[in-house]
Amino acid sequence: MNASEDKLAPAVRSILATARERSGGAERLDVDARSFPAAVEATEAAGRVPVVAEVKPTSPTTEGERTDDPVDLAREMVAGGATALSVLTEPEHFGGSAENLRRIRGAVDVPVLRKDFVVREAQLDAVESDLILLIARFLDEQGTDSLATLYEAARERGFQPLVEVHTREELDRALEVGAEIIGVNNRDLGKLEVDLDTFERLAPHVPEDVTLLAESGVTSVADVRRMRAAGADALLIGTAIMDGDVEANTERLTTADAERASRAAETSDAETDAGPTSSESTDAKRGRAESTDTTPRNTDTNQ
């Protein structure tokens, strides 16, 4: 169903091969998850950009390694306004661990995503988190469980599954299993190249009642605004935050919409009776938590 494994970048093939052999937890988990959609809504209500800041000591696509205590990094991200955190638990290629996730989740009060290559149901039970990443490209393949199986198993345990997609076919599969949180990865795992057009192509096909994230390649305030204009409810950002002053970088990216939000707030009362302007209607579509609309999102870029 997915692209064949030989089309993956060598580093990704190695990660996937290791993931297939990784064991799971000793007992089935029962997670009391912090709501990610509610956190996104609260962040937007406060006039900030919802950012999932990633605690990523290293990766195959970056140079060097951060040796800071992961808990200290996480606290700096939250202090900078992060809506949620993403914590790598893959040890060999990303320098992550389940223990890092446990410590971070115990130290903050925002939702925490476990970012790893989970390919079998037993691996869901390795460690508690609020969200768990399911990469559509790696599932429904030999040696892995199906996306539908893992999605339902994750929900039964209390996790909020974040289904990651890169193509229209993967997006359709995510929607077929009922995914409520979807991330569009701008990075092609075959070539490890990043193209923000990927999100812009797929976003119009995502229903309004889905919480939609843009992942990879967001390095600047301009990129944040571009992805928001294309329909991103939140952005997952790693390197641009980890490279330098973590708290300052997080604050810079989470306040990218602050000026526009302030202007909208100042004029909202005067324009209530007249109906929303095009800019305000785009902002309104991001009030996601109570939406039941399944029509495609409006991605007007003339805002």
Per-residue model confidence (pLDDT) at position 274: 55
The tokens for 296 are: 């495609």
Selected catalytic residue, list 215, 247, 249, 251? 215
Residue 10 has what pLDDT? 79
**pLDDT more than 90, % of the chain:** 66
- Predicted confidence at residue 271, as pLDDT, reads 58
Which amino acid type is present at position 257?
A: D
Identify whether 170 is a catalytic site residue: no
Residue 295 has pLDDT above 60, yes or no: no
In the beta sheet, which residues pair with residue 187? Answer: 194
Which tokens in the block code for residue 143? 């040696």
Annotation marks residue 291 as catalytic: no
191: annotated active-site residue: no
Catalytic residue among 2, 59, 86, 185: 185
The answer to whether residue 54 is catalytic is: yes
Residue % of the chain over a pLDDT of 70: 80
At residue 2, does pLDDT exceed 50? no
Best CA proximity match to 36, nearest among 111, 106, 134 = 111
As a whole number, mean pLDDT of residues 197-217 equals: 98
What is the pLDDT at residue 301? 44
- 185 labelled catalytic: yes
Which entry of 86, 100, 186, 216 is annotated as an active-site residue?
216
Active-site pick, 41, 44, 54, 170: 54
Query: Is 281 a residue whose pLDDT tops 70?
Result: no
Backbone CA torsion sign across 218, 219, 223, 225: positive
- Rounded distance between C-alpha atoms, residue 251 and residue 111, angstroms: 18
Least confident of 21-35, 63-77, 175-189, 238-252: 63-77
pLDDT at position 42 is 98
Task: Please check the confidence at residue 296 and state whether its pLDDT lies above 80.
Answer: no
Which of the pair, 189 or 281, is modelled with greater confidence? Answer: 189
Whether 285 is a known active-site residue: answer: no
What pLDDT does residue 1 have?
37
- Model pLDDT for residues 138-176, shown as the tens digit of each residue: 998 877 899 999 999 999 999 999 999 999 999 999 999
Query: What sign does the dihedral 49-51-193-282 (CA atoms) show?
Result: negative
Q: Is 164 a catalytic residue?
A: yes
Cβ atoms of residues 149 and 177 within 8 Å: no
The Cα–Cα gap between 240 and 236 comes to 10
> In the predicted model, is pLDDT for residue 273 greater than 90?
no
Instruction: Give the right CATH number for 31-111+165-174+182-259+278-284 from 3.40.50.720, 3.40.50.150, 3.20.20.70, 1.10.10.60.
Output: 3.20.20.70
The overall average pLDDT reported for the chain is: 86
The model's confidence at residue 95, banded by pLDDT at 50, 70 and 90, is confident
pLDDT at position 94 is: 78
Residue 130 is predicted with a pLDDT of 99
Measured between alpha carbons, how far is 197 from 272 in angstroms, rounded to an integer?
34
Which of 71-80, 184-193, 198-207 is the least confident region? Answer: 184-193
Three-state DSSP at 113 gives strand
Hunting for tokens 């539908």 — which residue is that? 148
pLDDT at 21: 80
- Look up the pTM and report it: 0.83
Higher pLDDT residue, 58 or 185?
185
